[in-house]
Amino acid sequence: MADDHSNEWYYCLKHHKVEPYEGDKASERLGPYSSPEEAARALDKVQERNEAWDNDPNWNDD
């Protein structure tokens, strides 16, 4: 029985678009996400997390 990847969506860093499980190799994608809309926000999510980590006093290495 094959794994069901029908609800997995990825953001392709190479093509700058959302794609299903059957897409480019994992090293060129972010995900999986549960919807195409969520995958489309992948770069926004990365930026939000980076800003949060940069401003986290528990991880300030200055």
- For 9, other C-beta atoms within 10 Å of its C-beta total 23
State pLDDT tens for residues 3-59.
888 899 999 999 999 999 998 899 999 999 999 999 999 999 999 999 998 888 887
Say what the pTM is: 0.79
Question: Could you give the angle at the alpha carbon of 47 between the alpha carbons of 7 and 57, nearest 5°?
Answer: 120
With b for 16 or more beta-carbon neighbours within 10 A and e for fewer, the 18-54 pattern comes to: bbeeebeeeeebebbbeeeeebeebeeeeeeeeeeee
pLDDT of 13: 96
Find the distance separating the first CA and the last CA of the chain, reported in whole Å.
51
